[in-house]
Amino acid sequence: MMRDKHNRAVNYLRLSVTDKCNLRCFYCMPEEGIPFCKKDEELSFEELLRICSILTAQGVDKIRITGGEPFVRKDLMLFLEKLTKLENAPEISITTNATLIGPHILKLKQLGIRSINVSLDTLDENRFFTITRRDEYKRVMQNLTTLMQEGFDVKINCVVMQDQNIEDIPLLAQLTKNYPISVRFLEEMPFNAQSEGQEALLWNYTNIKANLEEHFGELEKLQDPASSTSLNYRIKGYKGEVGIIPSFSRTFCGTCNRIRLSANGDFRTCLYGAADLNLRDQLRLGFTDEQLLNNLQEALQQKAKNGFEAETRNLKQVKDSMAYLGG
């Protein structure tokens, strides 16, 4: 098992397979997009599998596939099938905007990939278009419904934004009444496309909880899983759960078990910090598995204590798009 300099066990990789996305959510990227990675700048699926093999041999037993939008990348399902067949096969989960997942739902079920996080900030079709700049609401809702009906472990992630979707907090939470899903409300990140210069956050985790309790009464606190970024609750009598992720307040850093790899090979020990090294360059220079592992472990020994320290170290002040960072 790998450990960072603070003796925190590392067993969770967030793996971005592409920085490209078919939506243009205003808090993530401008309408015209961002300077996306060129094809030869992206790690190939073979390179990604090699890195995953190295990490799973060292105790990484959970890999979350992210983007951009993962299903934008051609042959993703072939990669996922190979990932499930690694010698130390990890638990695989996916974060998606649910626009393109429809044709792959049954295959995902066959592969045993049952944990799907759906990024969805509103249940109103007009607000959806305003936020995403794309007319994909009906397709998203159809695919979300199919995922729930097929028994997937569905988590809906909603970024709470002042003057944008506050009225959606109770509407989304209401979904947990009849479905055993989790709806999680995220504080806005300190480096999204709209928050430059932001020093305070009106809709922090305490105010989100207060809003929920205003509509549903006192929430039942649930036991949070180890290393959870989410504070988890249940509305009385409801089948599912609601969660609140303090992504701006960063109250969860003390139990961090995550590392991140972007589509171009940037390896990060903290979402809020700069890249620690680039594995694509090392792979293509012919580094051995042992050399790659040594460099990864060395990077972990430089890991910041928390996101605030990492952000302070980062001279760029973490202005990369979430599509690039992979969430």
**Overall average pLDDT of the 103-131 stretch:** 98
Residue 206, class by beta-carbon neighbours within 10 Å (0-12 exposed, 13-18 middle, 19+ buried)?
A: exposed
Q: What letter would DSSP give residue 41?
A: G
* pLDDT tens per residue, range 275-319: 889 999 999 999 999 999 999 999 999 887 766 667 677 665 544
Residue 207, class by beta-carbon neighbours within 10 Å (0-12 exposed, 13-18 middle, 19+ buried)?
A: middle
% of the chain surpassing 70 pLDDT: 89
Tell whether the model's pLDDT for residue 255 goes beyond 90.
Answer: no
How far is residue 38's CA from residue 217's CA, in Å, rounded to a whole number?
A: 50
Q: What is the mean pLDDT of the chain?
A: 90
Asked if 45 contacts 78 with a C-beta cutoff of 8 angstroms, the reply is yes
How far is residue 220's CA from residue 243's CA, in Å, rounded to a whole number?
A: 11
Tell whether the model's pLDDT for residue 193 goes beyond 50.
Answer: no
Whole-prediction pTM: 0.91
How far is residue 231's CA from residue 310's CA, in Å, rounded to a whole number?
A: 22
Backbone angles phi and psi of 237, in degrees to 5: 85, 0
**Overall average pLDDT of the 227-234 stretch:** 91
Count of domains observed in the chain: 1
Full residue range of the structural domain in which residue 19 is found = 2-325
| Per-residue model confidence (pLDDT) at position 325 | 56
Domain of 176: which CATH number?
3.20.20.70
* pLDDT tens per residue, range 131-175: 999 999 999 999 999 999 999 999 999 999 998 999 999 999 999
| Per-residue model confidence (pLDDT) at position 322 | 55
Tell whether the model's pLDDT for residue 321 goes beyond 80.
Answer: no
Rounded to 5°, angle at Cα 72 from 11 and 26: 90
